A and B are shown apart, each in its own frame.
Chain A
Amino acid sequence: MLIQILNGLVYGGMLYIVSVGLVLIFGLRRVVNFAHGGLYMLGAYIGFAAGLYFGFWGGLVVALVLMALLGVLLDYGVFRPLQDKDHMTTVLVTFGILLVMEDMVHMIWGADTISVAMPALFDGTVDISGSPFPIYRLLVIAVAIVVVLGLTLWLRHSRAGLYVRASSVDALTTGMQGVDTERLSLAVVGLGTALAGLSGVIASPLMALSPAMGSSVLIESFIVVVIGGLGSFSGAFFAALVIGQVHNLGIVYLPNVSSMLPLLLMVVVLILKPSGFARSH
């Protein structure tokens, strides 16, 4: 039971890192970024490719840097021109980008699945209440906690964080107060895509890489974002925790309906409280 809860935390933690990137981008740009799953996948592949030369951790750093740069380019070249467009347009464009990324990865690395070796330092298990538990999974939980704490501190206690929160509520008024929201959003989108890359690289020793890995994570992270309340940082955190547990305990106790539980939860939340867990707009 304890192990199953830990497994739920691992799953929820990874979902959180992906989802919070989505939330950041939505908050600043009002763009529902369907390409986010592709960014997660691309991050994993870049981490893998760079890891062949620089080791797992070197690969992680390379992936973070490249993904952040890609985010800045995306914001400049795609999200900025699209911000005043119809929602449908942004959905179609970002979905198109996802497909292009999948095909590019397919072209470069092929459709065969690739396994990434566990970093040696964390290869092994520890005993938790009599059962072996992979150390690496504890590391995943730790990384998720660091991201949660780091983002919370940054958003609540720094000037830039204040601007980000203000922009998320009303970008126009924030701009009128003298905040350069365009520059701010370059940085924030870069951060969001870097987080997608981070989760991709972190997931790679657990899950084999394939071009299709992005699409499945995309759906689950959208469920998290919707349940948490669009554009809410704390909402995404709680929603990811809940979805992680629902997903895992569902498989253990209600195996026949487990795959629809997260969707069912989303439907219930949307009917009872359309704004999501958090009281965001």
Chain B
Amino acid sequence: MKVRGLLGASALAIVLASPALAADPIKIGVATALTGAYGDLGNEVRRAVEFAVEEVNAKGGIDGRLVETQFLDTQAKADISRQQAEKLVNDGYTLLTGAIASGEALAIAPMLERWDAVYIGTIPKADALTGAECSPRYFRANVPDSADAATVGTWLKDQPEKKWAIMGSDTAWGRNSGASFVGTSKGLEREVVTEGYAGLGTSDFAPYIQKIADSGAEGVWVALAGRDAINFAQQAKQFGLLDKVKVAGVSFVTDSTVKSLGDVSKGIFGIVNYSSTLDTPENKAFVAAWNKKYPGTWPANFEADTYVGMQMLFAAIDKADSAEPEAVAEALSGLTVDSIVGEVTVRPEDHQLVRGNFFGRIAEHDGVLRPVISATIDAAVAMPAANRDCQL
């Protein structure tokens, strides 16, 4: 992110007019799943926010104002998430981020105007967040389900497998992703023979796995994340399912899955919203800086998405010369950001960041097993037009 040192007379005027305001820190509240079934994802969000904040503060902050953060645990549960977000707002942390589950963001989005807060969504994928449930104060930095569905279509049409099974998480996101896959496969003359949706934190996937094996599916589409993804993959391997059918998924081919599963994950296909192997100067600089702060690790996809969200937020504060939620929201709408995934723009119609998507599989890269991009899908193809249900 680039914080411009000289912001012209307007910034100077504000600084001179209210010296107290200039010294005020910019407060970012992060309510995320630090524990629970999505605990590993919440900790990725925390690492990314801490990285971004440290980086911007090392450069002297934004317009000379340092950034301050507060983290609260939501366990990825919608009700707790809303309470924690409200608590953050009451403590003055009106720039919010951190939701993992779509249900969390869906519970918070309707409250944002009343709280006079701004939310940067970096993980939740449900289409409704930039569709029927869109809010003037909710902005999405990550890739939504409909874009993933458009991406999977470009891959699915080249696959010989005709019969597919869906293994999803029984959440707003999992159901949404499953429905998108059914829609995509119908258009491509593929048949979905069985669908299973397991509750968050399911430990035993054996009945689902056997059902998929019995259904005669040749491929399985997985919309599970965090511990659920790991448990499913591990048990499916033990049942011999991973070797028998083609496995692809969304939020399944991630760095954290690879870290837990090791060789079991090798060869799994999937939508990769971000890969640390991305060959652009911006990304290389990001990966190198990340490597310095967290030695021996590469930024994972959720970490990178959260970092993109922080780049968006910082650029908007910079543009607005203010950290007041209303001004930040105004600056975010239509904002163009020079990010690690290229130059991207926040669409004013539904507040979705318009960015491309990737397809890939887990393979060795520089001797390390991680998601590797095999196809890049341009934003024009990957990102469907703004949803008409969204009335901002």
Contact = CB atoms under 8 A, between A and B. Distances in A.
5 contacts: A11-B206, A111-B39, A125-B238, A210-B227, A251-B207
Contacts of B261: 115
Contacts of A118: 238
Contacts of B260: 112-115, 208
B245 to A, nearest CB: 13
A217 B202 CA distance: 10
B256 interface: yes
A112 B230 CA distance: 11
Interface of B: 34-37, 39-40, 42-43, 170, 196-199, 201, 203-204, 206-208, 210-211, 213-214, 226-227, 230-231, 234-235, 238-240, 256, 259-262, 264
Given A115-B230, A125-B239, A252-B211, 14 more contacts: A113-B226, A115-B234, A115-B262, A125-B238, A125-B240, A134-B238, A206-B204, A206-B234, A208-B234, A208-B260, A212-B201, A216-B203, A252-B207, A259-B199
Given A111-B34, A212-B36, A216-B201, A132 B239 contact: yes
Contacts of A114: 260
A251 B196 contact: yes
Contact of B227 (A11, A113, A125, A217): A113
Interface stretch (A2-10, A52-60, A88-96, A187-195): A2-10
The residue among A7, A113, A118, A259 with the most chain B CB atoms within 10 A of its own CB is A113
A228 interface: no
Chain A's interface size range is 35 or more
B391 to A, nearest CB: 32
A137 B201 contact: no
A136 B238 contact: yes
B203 A251 contact: no
Contacts of B213: 131
A207 B214 CA distance: 22
B227 A134 contact: no
Contacts of A111: 34-35, 39-40, 42-43
Contact of A207 (B39, B40, B231, B259): B231
A133 B239 CA distance: 6
A279 interface: no
A7 B203 contact: no
A115 B256 CA distance: 12
A248 interface: yes
Nearest to A122: B238
A77 interface: no
A130 to B, nearest CB: 10
Contacts of A131: 210, 213-214
Contacts of A3: 210
Contacts of A8: 207
Interface of A: 3-4, 7-8, 10-11, 102, 106, 110-115, 118, 125, 131-134, 136-137, 203, 206-208, 210-213, 216-217, 247-249, 251-252, 255, 259
A167 to B, nearest CB: 33
A111 B75 CA distance: 12
Nearest to B256: A112
Nearest to B42: A111
Given A113-B40, A132-B240, A217-B203, A102 B35 contact: yes
A211 B196 contact: no
B239 A208 contact: no
Contacts of A247: 204, 207
A255 B206 contact: no
Contacts of A115: 230, 234, 260-262, 264
A7 B206 contact: yes
A248 B256 CA distance: 28
A108 to B, nearest CB: 14
The residue among B40, B203, B235 with the most chain A CB atoms within 10 A of its own CB is B203
Nearest to B46: A111
Contacts of B203: 203, 206-207, 213, 216-217
Contacts of B206: 7, 10-11, 137, 248
The residue among A4, A106, A131, A212 with the most chain B CB atoms within 10 A of its own CB is A212
Nearest to B33: A111
Contacts of B210: 3-4, 7, 131, 252
Nearest to B34: A111
A7 B239 CA distance: 11
B35 A106 contact: yes
B184 to A, nearest CB: 22
Contacts of A213: 203
B239 A134 contact: yes
A110 B44 CA distance: 12
A132 B196 CA distance: 20
A114 B257 CA distance: 10
Contacts of A212: 35-37, 39, 201, 227
Nearest to A8: B207
Closest 8 CB pairs of A and B: A111-B39, A7-B206, A251-B207, A132-B240, A134-B238, A208-B230, A248-B207, A207-B203
B39 A206 contact: no
B39 to A, nearest CB: 4
Contacts of B264: 115
Nearest to A216: B201
B37 A7 contact: no
Contacts of B230: 113, 115, 208
A7 B197 CA distance: 18
A113 B254 CA distance: 13
B43 A112 contact: yes
A206 B238 contact: yes
Given A114-B260, A125-B239, A251-B196, A210 B39 contact: yes
A11 B240 contact: no
Nearest to B243: A132
Contacts of A211: 35, 39
A207 B234 CA distance: 8
